[in-house]
Amino acid sequence: MLHFTPTTLVEYLEQVFPQIKGDFTVLELAERQLKVKLNVQEKHLRPGDTVSGPTMFSLADVSIYMVIMAMIGPEPLTVTTGCSMDFMRKPAGGRDIIASSTLLKLGRSLAVGDVLIHSDGISEPVARATMTYAIPQKAKT
**Quick one: which of 14, 17, 25, 35 contacts a second copy (CB under 8 A)?**
17
Cα Rg for the chain, rounded, in angstroms?
14
DSSP state of 109: S
Q: Is 131 helix (H, G, I), strand (E, B) or coil?
A: strand
How many binding residues for a second copy (CB under 8 A)?
41
Helix boundaries (H) for the chain? 6-16, 53-72
The reply on whether position 45 binds a second copy by CB under 8 A is: yes
Task: Check residue 85 for interaction with a second copy (CB under 8 A).
Answer: yes
In the three-class reduction of DSSP (H, G, I as helix; E, B as strand; rest coil), residue 57 is classed as: helix
Output 5 or 130, the one with its CB closest to a second copy. Answer: 130
CB half-sphere exposure, 96, CA atoms < 13 A? 13
State yes or no: residue 84 binds a second copy (CB under 8 A): yes
What does the per-residue mask of binding to a second copy show for 119-138, with x meaning CB under 8 A? Answer: -----xx--x-x-x-x----
Rounded to 5 degrees, φ, ψ at 62 are -65, -35
30 binds a second copy (CB under 8 A): no
The residues of the shown chain that bind a second copy, judged by CB under 8 A, are 16-19, 43, 45-47, 52-55, 57-58, 61, 79-90, 104-105, 107, 109-110, 112, 114, 116, 124-125, 128, 130, 132, 134
